Chain A
Amino acid sequence: MSEFIQLVIAGLTTGSFYALVALGYTMVYGIVRLINFAHGDIFMVGAFLGWTVLTALAATHMPWGLGILIALVLAMALTGGIGVVIERFAYQPLLSAPPLSILITALGVSLALENGVLLIFGPGFNTYPQLIGSGGFMIDGARITDIQVGIIILSFLLMAALYFFVHYTFIGTAMRALAVDRDAARLMGINVEGVIQITFFLGSALAAVAGVMEGLYYTEINFFMGFVVGLRAFTAAVLGGIGNIPGAMAGGLLIGLLEAFSAGYISSRWTDVIVFLVLIGTLVIKPTGLFGERVVERM
């Protein structure tokens, strides 16, 4: 039982990272029908920006909570800005081009981000300062650390905030209108380009939070870290039904749990195979993902 609880907590923690990153995939897909292959690397960039801020603050001896808050906010703002710049220069000119062309620029952006970080920070691992101690508590023999609790709580708060933003604000309504019909939204006076950029900002900022938290949790970051997380998060977005925000959250947590259980009960060598087989099996049974809706085309 204690192992089970341990795995659930570990799965929810990594699942929180996947869910936050999956939100970026799903929001961008919902609005511009682009699978943003650079999004995993946006997460990586967020982790490096957070690392840079925290390392710079280390000398000031400010309380660790404040330091983390500053790092999170700065990483979110800067990564969000990078997301907007990428959208403006690499994607916006191709929004009406064949979908594969924009997919290739996304792959190009992904390569550029990885190699850009490689050039600046080098190929090795960068170590996050150990700010949050290894304190924690026990439930039924399972050890749960403070940082795990913090990560899960913060992720749920952010997801709830996003959900309310999308459903109860003017911009959120505009985003949903765009997802249904971009041209009609434009005709209704919505600033389409602006809303798309806000979407990229939000997605990138959420990925940055995940990046900083991952750095704090595993302590080591690397220019290649975006690949695996990006892949899992993308899988999560599809599993939940791409374009669907609660679906991405649920998908992320599910993938995190699946990963923890397959590593705990089978072997971590087969984790990816299991994750993909579950995904493919789900799609065969329900081709639109768990929460996706069927789109009926008129003839």
Chain B
Amino acid sequence: MKTAIPAGRLGVAALAIAAVLPFLTDNYVTDVALTIVTYGILALGLNIVVGYAGLLDLGYAAFFAIGAYTTALMETLLNFNFWETIPFALLFAGISGVIIGWPTLRLRSDYLAIVTLGFGEIVRIIAVNLDITGGPNGIYGINPADVLGHDLTSPKSVYALGLVFLVIVLVLVIRLGQSRLGRAWTSLREDENAAEAVGVPTLRVKMLAYVIGALIGGLGGSLFAARFGTIDPTSFTYAQSVTILIIVVLGGRGSIPGVLLGAIIVAGLPEALRFLNLWREFVFAVALILLMLVRPQGLWPARLRRIAAPSADEAHDVPHAEVAKQIAAVTAGDPETLLEARNVTRVFGGLKAVTDVSFTVHRGEILSLIGPNGAGKTTVFNCLTGVLPPTSGSILWDGRSLSGLVPHKVVGRGLARTFQGIRLFNNMTVFENVLVGMDHRFRVPLPAELMGLPFARRSTGLHYAAGRNWLEFVGLADKAGLRAGDLPYGDQRRLEIARGLAGQPRLLLLDEPAAGMNPTEKQSLMGLIRRIRDLGTTVMLIEHDMLLVMGVSDRVIVMDRGQIIAEGAPAEVQSNPRVIEAYLGTEEDDADDGPIGNIPVGMLA
């Protein structure tokens, strides 16, 4: 794994070479370099959508077009100068980002391809068909950018302007990648539903990916218009969108050096292949296929780790980062009845998965929900957390209804969960997984975080320290920098718990936390659950392992076929004939033999 510093030095060195390039070569090379810089800017913008957020966009050239046409039209019709047009170019590109983002938010990811492609084509066809945009001929006589009264017309000076834009975009995308928004995008790419369920406002985050990507595309468009002085629709075709996408994927999705390398290759290679004449495009296509076959992840794949966890000493030095204090702060005013489910029913098609279920969760208890497979336990969890709306009935949390809240809002109210099948963000580090779980309560405004203002840095330090302390709480502090998907099974379960806890929940829902664990791991899980309760967080768990359930629970609720059939202390439930019947079935003989009495714990498992 490459560490951050050499990559940074390499980047600075590359930029330095780029800066002196025009002084060493002729105008032709400078011109090609400017094309590479323009593609670099565009690809960095698209990389936010495709690389960071994992969404597809086949119409990215539309934003490029909107920026270029805004600058061109405002300069030629309204006599604005280049700099005055930039805010408008960004504004219009941003608005179009919202327009394209909105209908695509709820679409399956595969459908994004055609919708974004359609959007790109619509923008181009409008430019071809309208008179104001000059139709197929485009717009002539766009003034060059001016700096202190000097027009930037020479190739060297336009190149310098492009390089400045590139550096601004670079700083922005690097900072974004390290911010909570960058993490949210990556979590979205890894597992959208899990992201939503641990507190990421996925719809807003997707929208932001399109909008910020659009802003960068618009900026690239303005630069393009000022560079050539003339634009026409042929620069903004589907092929252009595809070229930018190829740069991102060939270079390495999400990898900033990769994307820049991709820009150099895709924009530079056709120039280098000019001697092939007619064969050039064909050779380029075959080279593209071969490169993807050899390196499916891209030429320079993204680094796994964007931010490092603080060390134990650093984390312990930060005041207010202790896990106990964090939880105490949110659970202080909890009422006696934390949650109340009233007559909750959930129907799938004709099947009643959960029927008329009512129960309460008391502050500070460990409550288990057990029952045979298919009893409706996970459906109850899904209703509580907003994943599924109940067909009827209501859920009161702290006296207020939770109905109609989407999952990330429920997390914000203090309900966190884990999943029956582990759903970590595999291609993020262990530390970043925990951070995603706690980012919803990180209150620093995003611009302040991106600029690294002093108060934002302090809050970020506290945030990271708290995240690291949660890893320590579950015993994973020494694995903070590993890829989450590489952890052994038991550790993955504990990481999911840490991710849930890091959001400072008042109630933690664990869905079969012991599944697949060996006896030693189960033993330590029991200890962990008790420690969570001792912090002040109430715990409700679904579990099949009766040793664990009977060992840790204060109360047990038993479900069978969608209904609650028993409720009470572990010992009471164990001897309840209806429970035994649900687990073991009835036979005629059993009835004659009289009460079975306390069946061995092992049999229920």
Query: What residues of chain A have their CB less than 8 Å away from a CB belonging to chain B?
Result: 29, 33, 35, 90, 93-94, 97-98, 100-105, 107-112, 114-116, 118-119, 227, 231, 234-235, 238, 242, 269-270, 272-273, 275-277, 279-280, 283-284, 287-289, 295, 297-299
**How distant is A1 from chain B, measured CB to nearest CB, in Å?**
30
User: Is B329 interfacial (CB-CB < 8 Å)?
Assistant: no
Residues of B within 8 A of A283 (CB): 103, 107, 111, 115
User: Is B28 interfacial (CB-CB < 8 Å)?
Assistant: no
CB distance B249 to A101 under 8 Å? yes
Closest A residue to B281 using CB positions: A115
Residues of B within 8 A of A289 (CB): 111
User: Is B121 interfacial (CB-CB < 8 Å)?
Assistant: yes
Q: Is the interface of A mostly helix, strand, loop or mixed?
A: helix
CB distance A108 to B289 under 8 Å? yes
CB distance B115 to A280 under 8 Å? yes
Q: How far is the CA of A107 from the CA of B285 in the complex (A)?
A: 8
7 A-B residue contacts at CB 8 Å? Answer: A104-B288, A107-B242, A109-B289, A269-B129, A272-B121, A277-B122, A283-B103
User: Is B325 interfacial (CB-CB < 8 Å)?
Assistant: no
In the complex, which of the residues B197, B246, B278, B387 contacts A104, with contact meaning CB atoms closer than 8 Å? Answer: B246
Residues of A within 8 A of B275 (CB): none
CB distance B110 to A33 under 8 Å? yes
| A235-B118, A269-B125, A269-B128 known, 17 other contacts, Cβ within 8 Å | A90-B289, A101-B298, A104-B249, A105-B289, A107-B288, A108-B292, A115-B281, A227-B238, A238-B111, A238-B114, A242-B110, A272-B122, A277-B122, A279-B115, A280-B115, A295-B108, A299-B193
**How distant is A22 from chain B, measured CB to nearest CB, in Å?**
12
Residues of A within 8 A of B387 (CB): 299
Q: How far is the CA of A231 from the CA of B103 in the complex (A)?
A: 20
Residues of B within 8 A of A35 (CB): 110, 113
CB distance B285 to A276 under 8 Å? no
In the complex, which of the residues B50, B103, B114, B128 contacts A100, with contact meaning CB atoms closer than 8 Å? Answer: B50
CB distance A280 to B246 under 8 Å? no
CB distance B284 to A111 under 8 Å? yes
In residues 209-267 of chain B, which contact A (Cβ within 8 Å)?
A: 238, 242, 245-246, 249-250, 253
CB distance B296 to A112 under 8 Å? no
CB distance A116 to B292 under 8 Å? no
CB distance B292 to A94 under 8 Å? yes
User: Is B23 interfacial (CB-CB < 8 Å)?
Assistant: no
User: Is B24 interfacial (CB-CB < 8 Å)?
Assistant: no
User: Is B293 interfacial (CB-CB < 8 Å)?
Assistant: yes
**How distant is B304 from chain A, measured CB to nearest CB, in Å?**
15
Bits for B571-585, please: 1 = Cβ < 8 Å to A, else 0: 000000000000000
Q: How far is the CA of A287 from the CA of B103 in the complex (A)?
A: 9
Residues of A within 8 A of B121 (CB): 231, 272-273, 276
CB distance A235 to B296 under 8 Å? no
CB distance A115 to B285 under 8 Å? yes
Given known A-B contacts A238-B111, A269-B125, A101 and B296 have beta carbons under 8 A apart: yes
CB distance B293 to A299 under 8 Å? no
User: Is B119 interfacial (CB-CB < 8 Å)?
Assistant: yes
CB distance A287 to B111 under 8 Å? yes
Q: How far is the CA of A112 from the CA of B197 in the complex (A)?
A: 44
CB distance A119 to B278 under 8 Å? yes
Closest A residue to B192 using CB positions: A297
CB distance A279 to B286 under 8 Å? no
User: Is B563 interfacial (CB-CB < 8 Å)?
Assistant: no
In the complex, which of the residues A101, A110, A235, A269 contacts B297, with contact meaning CB atoms closer than 8 Å? Answer: A101
User: Is B369 interfacial (CB-CB < 8 Å)?
Assistant: no
Residues of B within 8 A of A295 (CB): 108
CB distance B108 to A119 under 8 Å? no
Closest B residue to A296 using CB positions: B348
Bits for B372-387, please: 1 = Cβ < 8 Å to A, else 0: 0000001000100001
In the complex, which of the residues A104, A116, A276, A297 contacts B118, with contact meaning CB atoms closer than 8 Å? Answer: A276
User: Is B339 interfacial (CB-CB < 8 Å)?
Assistant: no
Closest A residue to B287 using CB positions: A108
**How distant is B389 from chain A, measured CB to nearest CB, in Å?**
13
CB distance B282 to A112 under 8 Å? yes
**How distant is A87 from chain B, measured CB to nearest CB, in Å?**
13
- The residue among B242, B286, B292, B420 with the most chain A CB atoms within 10 A of its own CB is B292
